[in-house]
Amino acid sequence: MFPSVLSTDSVPLNMSGGNRVTEFILLSFPCPREMQILLFGVFSLTYVLTLMGNGSIIWAVRLDHQLHTPMYILLAHFSFLEICYVNTTVPNMLANFLSETKTISFTACFLQFYFFFSTGITEPFFLSLMAFDRYLAICQPLHYPTIMTGHFCIKLVLFCWVTGFLCFPLPIYFMTQLPFCGPNVIDHFICDPGPLLALTCVHSPKLELSFSIIPSLAIFLTFPFILGSYALVFRAVLQVPSAAGRKKAFSTCGSHLTVVSLFFGTVLVMYITPTSGHITTTQKIVTLFYSVFTPLVNPLIYSLRNKEMKTALKKVQLAMKILPNKWDSVSKPALKS
């Protein structure tokens, strides 16, 4: 989601030959063949469950008209973002587990780089927008319907998507223009800027700085905004006279804060990890957590403590059962005729 600690001192640069690298080798998780197959099974299951969980939330919001409110529209877009996010890394990682060569082409590597970090950096913008929505709903309830209209909500959603996907095109383009002389081995399961810059023939401090500044700005602008929004929300909730009202508000905001904690907690761990020693293993584990397991648990966090979402998910489950029966009733007469 965010670049690992950028260091180009760990891999020797091969200045001889000057041939441009056409593919990279993603080492992923080096281990015996049996363990690779086991990891393939585990991450395949995780991948399918992630798609099902986030897809269910999207369908629930679409099918249940009671969920056609800004809060659930934002949640549906966030779930779609999570689906896009896991699709940037997991399919290639699964193929890597079964591959003997573990290679990825130059173009595919940088495409993965772009989409992985673009979807990753879009996430804090969405979390900020969701916090802003809760602030308006709880702290400004009388003005909320007039401010957070459907049209304005879609504008904010588009702003998050466009901003996230406009952060990295130029730095990545300039990075592709650098000469890669080899070696072409990346000790990671994704194309990360740190290992990639280590494989270039020339040092590029400005590029290293840009890949550090962009995610840092995203983190340190959105995180205080989210904390400030929820601080105001909790102050307003404590003044609610009804215990049931306080419980419902705390339940909704608690789900959001849990997701925020998972996201920013793992990102901050990445930033405070020491730059010496076995950092690569630590970085891979942390990256694996926020790129694979966080999208898996987010649907559970949002659905388990939300009665409206539980009800809508039951409707989705019922619709899934009804569809095969309808298909059978339509197809059987057709087969008889």
The secondary structure of 46-78, three-state, reads HHHHHHHHHHHHHHHHHHCHHHCCHHHHHHHHH
Q: What is the pLDDT of residue 13?
A: 37
Structural domains of the chain, ranges and CATH numbers in brackets: 25-313 (1.20.1070.10)
pLDDT band per the 50, 70, 90 thresholds, residue 88: very high
Question: Which long-range CB contacts under 8 A does 281-284 form with residues at least 24 apart?
Answer: 283/4, 283/5, 283/188, 283/192, 284/29, 284/188, 284/189
Q: Mind listing the pLDDT tens digit for each residue in 280-336?
A: 677 788 888 888 999 999 888 887 667 777 777 777 777 666 655 554 554 555 545
**pLDDT at res. 282:** 76
How confident is the model over 86-114, as a mean pLDDT? 93
Q: What confidence tens digit (pLDDT) does each residue in 178-190 have?
A: 888 778 888 889 9
Identify the H or E element spanning 104. Answer: strand 103-105
- What is the pLDDT averaged over residues 205-221? 88
pLDDT of residue 315: 72
State which amino acid sits at residue 102.
K
Strand (E) or helix (H) holding 185: strand 185-186
What band does 253 get if pLDDT is binned at 50, 70 and 90? confident
CB 180 within 8 A of CB 201: yes
What is the pLDDT averaged over residues 20-41?
89
pTM to 2 decimal places? 0.85
Q: Does the CA dihedral 30-31-32-35 come out positive or negative?
A: negative
pLDDT of residue 14: 38
Token readout for 252 is 């909704």
